[in-house]
Amino acid sequence: MNIQLGEVELKIIPAHFLHSAGNFQVYDPVSKILYTGDLGASLEMDYFIVEDFDNHIQYMEPFHKRYIPCGRVLKLWADMVKELDINMIVPQHGAIFNTPELSRRFIEWIESISCGIDIMEDIYRIPRV
């Protein structure tokens, strides 16, 4: 859906199961910022802007592997947001992807990871003494 906010028509886009079942994200077509909520969350780093994407993966990967239910929903999301003209991706937690290049790298990374039920084989085991 679209929501009129003054002169700007914000796009409210589906992000169901990323990580909440009824999740939505907000895209501002004027600033070209995609506010992604928990998608892109990063933890325990000491900076606010991503400069080295490859190094930044270590701060995002544990959260996404644990809290995103499956890779298929990430692929669907990535295919959808590739249609947007994005200057920045701004997650609710952690560092910001403040360029179109870093935003593109994030979308490419997120659509390729295995997570949630895709990687449960090692977790669903009876503990051995």
Identify the H or E element spanning 100.
Answer: helix 100-110
Tokens for 3, please give them.
Answer: 């929501």
3-state secondary structure 3-29: EEECCEEEEEEECCCCCCCCCEEEEEC
d(CA 115, CA 2): 31
pLDDT for the residue numbered 92: 95
pLDDT for the residue numbered 125: 86
Q: How would you classify the pairing of strands 88-91 and 24-28? A: unpaired
Q: What is the pTM of this model?
A: 0.92
Question: Mind listing the pLDDT tens digit for each residue in 93-129?
Answer: 999 999 999 999 999 999 999 999 999 887 888 888 8
Residue at token pair 């298929």: 72
pLDDT for the residue numbered 65: 94
Query: Could you tell me the domains of the chain?
Result: 2-122 (3.60.15.10)
Average pLDDT of the chain, as a whole number: 95
pLDDT for the residue numbered 124: 85
- List, for the chain, all residue ranges whose pLDDT scores fall below the cut of 70: none
